Amino acid sequence: MNFTTLFFISVGLAMDAFAVSLTEGMALKKNHVKHILKVSLVFGFFQAFMPLLGWSIGGLFYNTISKYEHWIAFGLLAFVGVKMLLEARENQKCVNDGKCDISSNIILLGIATSIDALAVGFSFSLLPGLDIYSTIFVIGAITFIISSAGVYIGNKAGQLLGYKAEYAGGFILIGMGFKILFEHIA
């Protein structure tokens, strides 16, 4: 696989992570490097780990997982989205330390946004001579960069919207879950 193909696969895989990073950035009152790094590292890790996992187990479980991947992603995104809406209701006055708490469900979001990367990993196992470690490094690095931008941009939008940004983020996550579900059902 050439680098151009890998680059576009990586960007495509990172788009869900970007959208969720926007919602995480919206939840912050102030942009803190540690929050940007936390979100970006988690998303970058899972976007790199899942293709490695898929490549490692090859086609053994592909048929089973592929039947349910959209339900898994939908369930995780909907759960976190609803939880974010409930937290937004309680966090409307989060001014005591200058920031709202970042989602405690970042690991679930990392998994939910990288399930498609698992399927890509299965397809990688069919490519002879593929250097999987270089491939997953590129995927993880691109996701890290795109997620960092998402948190930053989301934070700027969140500063304009205030606590309403958390509501928007919750609805976005639920909408992404439905989008994934409908794309696989249709």
Q: What distance in Å separates the CA atoms of residue 107 and residue 104, rounded to the nearest whole number?
A: 8
pLDDT tens column, 2-19: 898 889 888 888 888 888
pLDDT value of residue 40: 95
Which residue segment(s) compose the domain that 37 sits in?
Answer: 3-185
- 37's CB contacts (< 8 A; 6+ apart) are 148
The tens digit of pLDDT for each residue in 59-101 reads 576 666 667 777 776 776 677 667 667 666 655 544 444 454 4
pTM: 0.71
Q: How does pLDDT run across 96-149, given as a tens digit for each residue?
A: 444 544 455 788 888 888 887 887 887 787 777 889 999 999 999 999 999 999
Q: Count up the domains in the chain and report the number.
A: 1
77-to-9, 66, 124, 129, 158 alpha-carbon distances in Å: 22, 17, 26, 35, 20
Q: Scanning the structure block, which residue is given the tokens 């940004």?
A: 165
d(CA 17, CA 76) in angstroms, rounded, equals: 13
